[in-house]
Amino acid sequence: MTPPRPSRQQKGTAARLAGRRAEWVAALLLMAKGYRILGMRLVTPQGEVDLVGLKGRVLAIVEVKQRRTVEEALLAVSTSQRERLRRAGLALAARLSRENPLTVRLDMVALAPGRWPRHIADAWP
C-alpha cells in the first residue's frame, strides 16, 4: 500500500519552513563574513527583501534561493525581481543614511542539497 500524498497545504507549509531555514543559514553565513544583518523578510513598498546586511558602507540586498543546484538558484531570479530588489535597496539606503550615502549591492545566497551555501556578492551588477 502506498502512503498518502501530502496535500497542497502541507507542501506549502513545508516550502515556507524550508525557505525560512535557508534564510537563517544565509544570515549566519553573512554574519560569519562580517555583515551586520539589519533585517530579515523585510517588507517594503517595493516588495519583500529576504535579507538586508551592512558591511562598511555597503548595503547588501540579499536574495536567498534554495534549489537542486546552485546554477538553478541563480537562474531563479527574474529581471523584474532584480529591478524590484534594486528599487527596494535604494529606498532603504536613502532612509538609513542621508549625509553619507551607502552603496547598494544586490547579493545572492544560493543553497543546494549537499553543498555549502554560496554567497555571491554583486550577483547582478
Q: What CATH number labels 8-120?
A: 3.40.1350.10
Q: Where are the beta strands (DSSP E) in the chain?
A: 36-44, 47-55, 58-66, 103-111, 118-120
Confirm if 59 and 107 have CB atoms less than 8 A apart: no
Q: What does the pLDDT read at residue 74? A: 84
Q: What pLDDT does 19 receive?
A: 80
pLDDT in 10s for each residue of the chain, 125 residues: 677 777 777 767 767 887 899 999 999 999 999 999 999 999 999 989 999 999 999 999 999 999 998 889 888 999 999 999 999 999 999 988 877 889 999 999 999 988 999 999 999 88
What phi, psi does 107 have (nearest 5°)? Answer: -110, 170
